Copies of this chain bind each other. A is one copy, B any other.
Amino acid sequence: MGIDQLDGRLLVLLAEEPRIGVLEASRRLGVARGTVQARLDRLQSNGVIRGFGPQVDPAALGYPVTAFATLQIRQGQGTDVRVHLATVPEVLELHTTTGSGDMLCRLVARSNADLQRVIDRVVGFDGIVRAATAIVMENPVPLRIIPLVEQAAEDRE
């Protein structure tokens, strides 16, 4: 496990210009095409690259409001809550965290008013004892991975 510098450069290159093909990538990296192909295959079967799905912006879909909700779950209801939240499209992500029966989820909504509807739907469920919501105002660091990739590559392996 871990990636070497060539892997790192490849990942950065793909992140910057996702549309380039294997051939072009091999030119940019100064290695043979077969090498890039082999690296890509390995990174994918490794699980380092989970996929190349389109990155969709919820705001452009009409959901400009993002919030994080901390949920407190009644003992033993964890599974039910998970299933429930999975059925709510506006729940983009759900984590269980330290703190007995605590969960954290990312929500989006069409507006602040709509957020109320989403929250009602989220917490309108028996297993949820309490919910604290923080609305996102700014996103100074959008979800990123490149700096980490570079660090992982520098750490050799």
Which residues of A line the B interface, CB within 8 A? 1-3, 11, 14-15, 18-19, 43, 46-63, 66, 68, 70, 82, 85-86, 88-99, 102, 104-106, 108, 134-145, 147-152, 155, 157
Contacts and interface: CB of A to CB of B under 8 A. Distances in A.
Nearest to A155: B62
A123 to B, nearest CB: 16
A43 B145 CA distance: 23
A82 B138 CA distance: 11
B61 A50 contact: no
Contacts of A47: 57, 59-60
Given A51-B18, A68-B97, A68-B104, A58 B148 contact: yes
B53 A15 contact: yes
A60 to B, nearest CB: 4
Contacts of A48: 56-57, 60-61
